[in-house]
């Protein structure tokens, strides 16, 4: 009888612990996103408050409304700047800043996370053949410029679950296949999942035969045409 009671209590404790762990893991991403949103809100509120005070408007009355107005204003400014960077004047300003030591390095680091890039600057998610016999690895191409080695391109294999490191390889064009549906963001999700989710799961597509993927050479030719 005593043994049955102990087993029941032990099972009850394990069950409660499992429920608590499940609850914590469910709450963790929600709490993390809430903290990030609160941090962004605080920063935007401080910036917009300063801007409004400089033009003689008191944002302390209805602060939430003024913050929304400030966010819309910042988005509008970002939109105008987005158009500006495509002009000759934008190129001129960038050339001036490029003379400042460290500017190009900071710019390239920020551009890694810029998924709005296109053409040669677009980040490609690729399959690389040969790192594990005849199997494939998923990696990134931050540039479609040819490597110092003819017919080779620079490919990066990121670490998981923290993809702030990795390895760079010069890979022959025939060994690089492009996953056209994937983006930098989906590859980040893939890395953070540590394989729990496949790339097909993240992209919400059916797995494809290897012959259905274009080589980097075919991809670039299609882009040019």
Whether residue 84 lies inside any domain: the answer is no
- Looking at 71, 86, 109, the residue that finishes a domain is 71
Question: Residue written as tokens 């990030």?
Answer: 36
Within this chain, do residues 123 and 218 fall inside the same structural domain, yes or no?
A: yes
220 domain-assigned? yes
- The structural domain count of the chain equals 2
Q: Give the model's pLDDT for residue 216.
A: 92
- Residue 171 CA to residue 178 CA, distance in Å, equals 13
Whether residue 188 is contained in a domain is answered as yes
Domain that holds residue 15: 2-71
The answer to the question of residue 66 being in a domain is yes
124 shares its domain with 196? yes
| 52 within domain boundaries | yes
Say if 157 falls within a structural domain: yes
Beta strand residue intervals within the chain, DSSP E: 124-129, 136-141, 152-158, 166-172, 176-178, 214-215
Indicate the residue among 56, 71, 86 that finishes a domain. Answer: 71
In a domain, 27, yes or no: yes
89 in any annotated domain: no
Q: What is the pLDDT along the chain (225 residues), one digit of tens a residue?
A: 555 555 555 556 666 767 776 777 666 666 776 777 777 767 766 766 666 666 666 656 666 666 677 667 767 777 777 676 666 766 777 777 777 776 666 666 666 655 555 555 578 999 998 776 678 889 999 888 889 999 999 998 888 877 777 889 999 999 999 999 998 888 888 888 888 888 999 999 999 998 899 999 999 888 877
Same domain, 138 and 47: no
């Amino acid at each position: 009888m005593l043994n049955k009671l102990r087993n029941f209590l032990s099972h009850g404790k394990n069950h409660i612990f499992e429920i608590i762990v499940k609850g914590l893991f469910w709450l963790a991403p929600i709490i993390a996103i809430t903290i990030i949103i609160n941090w962004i809100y605080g920063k935007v509120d401080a910036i917009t408050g300063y801007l409004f005070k400089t033009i003689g408007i008191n944002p302390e009355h209805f602060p939430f409304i003024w913050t929304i107005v400030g966010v819309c204003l910042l988005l509008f400014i970002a939109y105008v700047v987005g158009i500006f960077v495509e002009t000759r004047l934008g190129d001129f300003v960038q050339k001036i800043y490029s003379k400042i030591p460290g500017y190009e390095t900071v710019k390239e680091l920020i551009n890694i996370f810029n998924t709005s890039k296109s053409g040669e600057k677009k980040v490609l998610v690729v399959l690389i053949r040969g790192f594990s016999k005849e199997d494939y690895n998923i990696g990134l191409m931050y540039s479609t410029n040819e490597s110092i080695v003819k017919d080779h391109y620079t490919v990066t294999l990121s670490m998981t679950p923290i993809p702030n490191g990795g390895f760079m390889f010069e890979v022959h064009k025939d060994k690089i296949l492009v996953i056209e549906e994937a983006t930098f963001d989906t590859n980040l999700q893939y890395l953070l999942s540590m394989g729990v989710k496949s790339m097909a799961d993240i992209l919400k597509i059916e797995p494809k035969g290897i012959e259905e993927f274009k080589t980097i050479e075919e991809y670039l030719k299609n882009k040019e045409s």
